[in-house]
Amino acid sequence: MTTTHKVSIWRGGAEGDYAHYDVPARESQTVLDVVTYVQRHLDPTLTYRFACRVGMCGSCAMTVNGVPRWTCRTHVSKVTGGGELKIGPLANMPVIKDLACDMTEFFEKWQKAQSRFIPTKTRKNPMEPIKPDTPARVAANAGIECINCGVCYAACDTVRWNADYLGPAALNRAWTLANDERDGGWADRLKAVSDHGGCHSCRSHQSCEAHCPNQLNPAASIAGLKRLSTSAYLKGELK
């Protein structure tokens, strides 16, 4: 006898409701498998995002039973406890339709934080050796595996409360660049992350760390930025 999961999935945009589906249970079934089954067998109008299915692309994040998660690496058995499965779009972003939310602001804030690599060398320069064990490189390495999934942004109370807050992902990226000796964009980035909505807006609730699927700690990165920013200000480097 085939057992089924009782599944509720958000349908609609900002206004909408949860629709209910019965999805056959499978071994090692992920939440993304469940959503895909619904679209392919029960309702082809269901909208959602995914790409790699192996936890690398950051496309498939959704709210699963109230918690933001990457759905391709989340097994149903681990989140339902035998009960129902409730799947919605990520919080803190406008819903486009069903499970797809608009990540424009998330990525615009990434740019606003100047969180892009500014090279200091050209291709004509010789390759610069980077020692892997310097404190700065170790700090950078601790934060570089971000896949831009938006889980931390959806989990963050400060993002929900403060529309100007740049968010954990953008600030985590700023921190990795601050510790990258090849980068030359620190002066502008320091201003961007120190201003209103920057690192000093973080309330250190650490939801980003609790929910990051890659076990990164953006809260620690933001704390690092606070120290750098404060130190720069006290030295007169930040007007």
Partner 1 sequence: MRALRLYLVQRVTAAIMAPLVFLHLGLILYAVQGGLSAGEILSRTQGSFFWAFIYGLFVLCASFHVSIGLTNILQEWTSLKRIAAANIAHTFGMGVMILGFRAVYAVVF
Query: Can you give the binding site for partner 1, defined by CB under 8 A?
Result: 158, 161-162, 191, 194-198, 200-201, 226, 229-230, 233, 238-239
In the complex, the smallest distance separating the C-beta of residue 200 from partner 1, rounded to whole angstroms, is 4
Q: 59 or 207, CB closer to partner 1?
A: 207
Of the candidates 43, 224, 190, the residue with the CA atom closest to the CA atom of residue 34: 43
In the complex, the smallest distance separating the C-beta of residue 5 from partner 1, rounded to whole angstroms, is 37
In the complex, the smallest distance separating the C-beta of residue 204 from partner 1, rounded to whole angstroms, is 12
Contact 72, 52 (CB under 8 A): yes
Q: 117 or 233, CB closer to partner 1?
A: 233
In the complex, the smallest distance separating the C-beta of residue 154 from partner 1, rounded to whole angstroms, is 17
Output the six-digit token pair for 24.
Answer: 């056959």
Of the candidates 13, 1, 8, the residue with the CA atom closest to the CA atom of residue 31: 8
Give the rounded distance of the alpha carbon of 105 from its chain centre. 13
Q: Provide the sign of the torsion angle of the four alpha carbons 48, 54, 59, 62, taken in this order.
A: positive
Distance CA 73, CA 54 (A): 7
In the complex, the smallest distance separating the C-beta of residue 156 from partner 1, rounded to whole angstroms, is 12
Q: 41 or 203, CB closer to partner 1?
A: 203
Q: 36 or 201, CB closer to partner 1?
A: 201
Q: Where would I find the H helices in 113-162?
A: 135-143, 151-155, 157-161
Q: 33 or 195, CB closer to partner 1?
A: 195
In the complex, the smallest distance separating the C-beta of residue 219 from partner 1, rounded to whole angstroms, is 16
CA atoms within 13 A on the CB side of 163: 1
Contact 69, 31 (CB under 8 A): yes
